[in-house]
Amino acid sequence: RLWSRSRRLNDAMLTFNYRRKRCFFLPPIFAAVAFLLESTDVSAFHLPSAAGRRTWRQSKIPLHDSEAGSETSIQERKRVQSVNGGDDGIRGSGKSLRRLEARLTKTMRETCQKFDMVEEGDHIMVCVSGGKDSATMLRLLMNLRERLARPGGTNFSLTAVHLDQRQPGYDGTSLVSWLNSLDVPYRILSEDTYSIVKDKTAESKTYCSLCSRLRRGILYTVAHDLGCNKLALGHHGDDAIETLLLNAIHAGQLKSMPARYYSADRNVHVIRPLIGCSEGDIREYASAMGFPILPCNLCGSQPDAQRAKVKMLVGTLDALSPDARKNFVRAMGDVRPSHLLDIGLREACGLDGATGVAVDAKRAHLVHGIASNREGRSSTKNDTETAGLNENNLSSVEQE
């Protein structure tokens, strides 16, 4: 186990426990590849971060596992703490926490404005699973409610709902105490979906699909009973990226998570306010705020699940290109139909399905005008390179 509670320091690291109980650090790409090996000696893995890479290059602080903790000097611990602003990183710096909260709130506010997620008179049911994502979502929605609660603003109400799935060892005391401290009404449900999932899922299959469907059905019913017209889920940008890659690799479809959709049979709008936020920021914020986190015996209990492997793939790509995650999310909002192979999509956008030439001038102008405006906002060379392929660089990229 790594001795390190700091999140900024951790670069992509893989720890093996050998006879001498030493820690071995590998370059990010090799660490990610090595982690895929099914080795019982693997005890910890940390995905890279830009701040971590910079700090690691500057400090070269050795880290050891718990049994070799005595080898780590007090001076080294102080150096780690000084780098991270306190004993456990962001919690030691009020300014850092405020900046992080402001960044997350701004991203969520822009997402809500873009997809009309929050409207006047809305009653939003916030699904609180007991994890970091849903707790962060509830806190930020409360901040947004306070910000918009002014004359001429948007007034909406929140109700938090938590589902106890009757998992062995479940203890929701900390979550209930936290909910009691908030200015939000809440409701705790109890349904034995755990036994159903364990009983109905074959050994070679994952729990996630059936578990998600059962939970969603219960939550839809509760939203109707509470009179909520919207249901908020805590999926973030990394979830959307992983879903995009899973569908592309295993289903042959270019499809991800919608930021908002309408369930006609349930008469409820489902929104994902955190879809533009990164998991790293959410994890850091939840840790700094001290949100109660309830362990789940289903989620993450299957290390060979396809999503776990795709998460590792995204981590590898992010190690090779620090902007990979951000650009994946950006790409899902900047689609070029003329550069894809979907004939139906081309025709829907006013293009000829075979040639990509504009047929419906008005519709094609609208689609390509939006794309041109996006490119126009890319003023620097770096932004232009990441905005997408154009006629001049397409052939060189294809050759590469």
Q: How far apart are CA 13 and CA 211, in angstroms?
A: 32
How much is the pLDDT for 343?
Answer: 93
Q: What is the 3-state secondary structure of 154-196?
A: CCCEEEEEEEECCCCCCCCHHHHHHHHCCCCCEEEEECCHHHH
User: C-alpha angle 329/330/333, rounded to 5°?
Assistant: 95
Q: How far apart are CA 228 and CA 125, in angstroms?
A: 6
The domain covering 93-307 belongs, at the CATH homologous superfamily level, to HUPs (3.40.50.620)
Residue 337 DSSP label: G
How much is the pLDDT for 113?
Answer: 95
Q: How far apart are CA 158 and CA 214, in angstroms?
A: 23
How much is the pLDDT for 85?
Answer: 39
CA pseudo-torsion sign 355, 359, 361, 366: negative
Q: How far apart are CA 103 and CA 171, in angstroms?
A: 32
Q: Which H or E element spans position 26? A: none
End-to-end CA distance of the chain: 41
How much is the pLDDT for 369?
Answer: 56
pTM value > 0.85: no
Q: Where are the domains of the chain?
A: 13-86, 93-307, 335-380
Residue 289 DSSP label: H
Any bridge partners for residue 126, and if so which? 160, 232
Q: Could you tell me if 332 and 244 are in contact, meaning their C-beta atoms sit under 8 angstroms apart? A: yes
Q: How far apart are CA 397 and CA 14, in angstroms?
A: 33
How much is the pLDDT for 307?
Answer: 85
Q: Which residue has the tokens 């849903």?
A: 134
Task: Spell out the per-residue pLDDT of the chain, length 400, in tens.
Answer: 333 333 333 344 444 333 333 344 444 444 444 444 333 343 444 444 454 444 444 443 333 333 333 333 344 334 333 333 333 334 445 779 999 999 999 999 999 999 999 999 999 999 999 999 999 999 999 999 999 988 778 899 999 999 998 888 888 999 999 999 999 999 999 998 888 888 887 776 777 778 888 999 999 999 999 999 999 999 999 999 999 999 999 999 999 999 999 987 788 999 999 999 999 999 999 999 999 998 876 665 555 578 888 999 999 999 999 899 999 999 999 999 889 999 999 998 888 999 888 887 777 666 665 555 555 544 433 443 333 333 333 333 333 3
Q: What is the DSSP string of 130-149?
A: SSHHHHHHHHHHHHHHHHH-
Ramachandran angles phi, psi of 66, nearest 5°: -65, -35
Closest of 370, 297, 296 to residue 333, by C-alpha: 370
Distances (CA, A) of 111 to 121, 200, 273: 19, 37, 6
Closest of 208, 166, 105 to residue 294, by C-alpha: 166
Q: How far apart are CA 343 and CA 114, in angstroms?
A: 27
Distances (CA, A) of 115 to 48, 59, 333: 31, 43, 12
How much is the pLDDT for 62?
Answer: 39
How much is the pLDDT for 366?
Answer: 64
Distances (CA, A) of 107 to 125, 273, 374: 20, 9, 18
**Which region, left, alpha or beta, applies to residue 188 given φ > 0 means left and ψ of -120 to 50 means alpha?**
beta
Q: Which H or E element spans position 225? A: helix 208-226
